[in-house]
């Protein structure tokens, strides 16, 4: 079960990284749309 | 502002899926821990179908409107579909290694069918890259999409069921279309399916918005 927690935390970190990237990209696109 | 809260909501949903998929009992006791991949592998295969269907819809729309934006929407959805198809192939291959002892076998109809699907849409992307004129590229690739899409339900849903396969059968619904999952498995699976579908539409929208900004800049210049 402890290895399950390790994999779970690794997955959470990867998902948080992907989400932050997309969240910031979305914000950048919104700023560009406003400037347009 | 609403969009920001929806995005944070999506983050919480997928984080919840990750948490519960690893802390609740494994979906199939016979297969064991490896069956947890089920929460990710099936949504990836599902999104492959959705993305290729959206590719077809915008391809047909492009042939009517000849709008460059519709061509981009169709192309972008095919790229996302191919990404999900690769993810479904990788997750399926990992599952195969744990349960059958090999990463890949050509005698398994599911593996063969997803490989052919990757080749079909790989050819679509190569075809687009090979045509320099934008309108000609749009017309030829939209026509290709119309002929390519009928193979998607065939290779994902029909062909693997026509042949003998080691792949777990009826893992979502049985022949009478009743859910075969019980306990905590069904809610986690449905939330996973829903949240990954929302993620796909976010990615699709993000790419389209970015393309619109680029088009506007190009027209200004």
- Chosen for mutation from A3, A19, A24 (greatest number of chain B CBs closer than 10 Å) is A19
The answer to whether the beta carbons of residues B44 and B84 sit under 8 Å apart is yes
Tell which wins on pLDDT, A18 or B184: A18
State the pTM of this model: 0.91
The answer to whether the beta carbons of residues B49 and B193 sit under 8 Å apart is no
Nearest-angstrom CA–CA distance, A15 and B153: 29
pLDDT at B46: 94
CB atoms within 10 A of CB B62: 24
Query: pLDDT tens across B98-145, in order?
Result: 988 999 999 888 899 999 999 999 999 999 999 999 899 999 999 999
B5-to-A25, B12, B53, B131, B199 alpha-carbon distances in Å:
16, 10, 28, 41, 14
B184-to-B39, B180, B187 alpha-carbon distances in Å:
12, 12, 6
pLDDT at A1: 59
Which among A5, A7, A25 is the nearest to B206, CB-wise? Answer: A25
Query: What is the distance in angstroms between the Cα of B218 and the nearest Cα belonging to chain A?
Result: 12
Contact state of A8 with B23 under an 8 Å Cβ cutoff: yes
How many angstroms from the chain centroid is the CA of residue B153? Answer: 12
- Whether the pLDDT of residue B208 is over 90: the answer is yes
CB atoms within 10 A of CB B38: 24
ipTM of the complex: 0.92
Which among A15, A29, A32 is the nearest to B18, CB-wise? Answer: A15
How many angstroms from the chain centroid is the CA of residue B2? Answer: 27
- pLDDT averaged over chain B? 91
Query: Which tokens is B105 given?
Result: 């076998």
Nearest CA in chain A to B9: A19
The answer to whether the beta carbons of residues B137 and B128 sit under 8 Å apart is yes
A31 touches chain B (CB under 8 A): no
Nearest-angstrom CA–CA distance, A11 and A3: 12
Query: What is the distance in angstroms between the Cα of B167 and the nearest Cα belonging to chain A?
Result: 24
- Whether the pLDDT of residue B157 is over 90: the answer is no
Query: pLDDT tens across B65-101, in order?
Result: 999 999 999 999 999 999 999 999 999 999 999 988 9
Using a CB-CB cut-off of 8 Å, the residues of chain A touching B217 are 36
Beta carbons within 8 Å of B25's beta carbon, 6+ residues apart: B183, B184
Nearest-angstrom CA–CA distance, B210 and B207: 5
Nearest-angstrom CA–CA distance, B51 and B197: 10
């Amino acid at each position: 079960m402890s290895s399950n927690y390790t994999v779970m935390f690794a997955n959470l970190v990867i998902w948080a990284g992907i989400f932050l990237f997309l969240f910031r990209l979305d914000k950048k696109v919104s700023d560009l749309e406003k400037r347009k | 502002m609403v969009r920001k809260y929806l995005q944070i909501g999506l983050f919480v949903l997928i984080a919840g899926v990750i948490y519960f998929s690893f802390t609740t009992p494994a979906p199939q006791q016979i297969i064991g821990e490896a069956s947890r991949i089920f929460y990710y592998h099936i949504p990836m295969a599902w999104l492959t179908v959705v993305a290729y269907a959206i590719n077809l819809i915008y391809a047909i729309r492009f042939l009517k409107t000849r709008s460059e934006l519709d061509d981009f929407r169709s192309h972008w959805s095919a790229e996302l579909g191919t990404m999900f198809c690769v993810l479904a192939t990788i997750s399926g291959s990992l599952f195969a290694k744990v349960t059958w002892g090999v990463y890949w076998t050509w005698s398994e109809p599911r593996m063969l069918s997803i490989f052919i699907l990757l080749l079909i849409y790989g050819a679509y992307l190569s075809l687009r890259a090979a045509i320099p004129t934008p309108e000609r590229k749009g017309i030829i690739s939209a026509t290709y999409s119309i002929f390519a899409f009928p193979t998607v339900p065939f290779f994902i849903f029909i062909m693997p069921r026509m042949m003998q396969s080691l792949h777990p059968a009826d893992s979502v619904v049985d022949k009478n279309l009743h859910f075969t999952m019980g306990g905590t498995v069904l809610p986690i699976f449905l939330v996973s399916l829903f949240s990954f579908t929302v993620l796909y539409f976010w990615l699709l929208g993000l790419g389209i918005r970015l393309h619109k900004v680029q088009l506007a800049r190009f027209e200004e210049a």
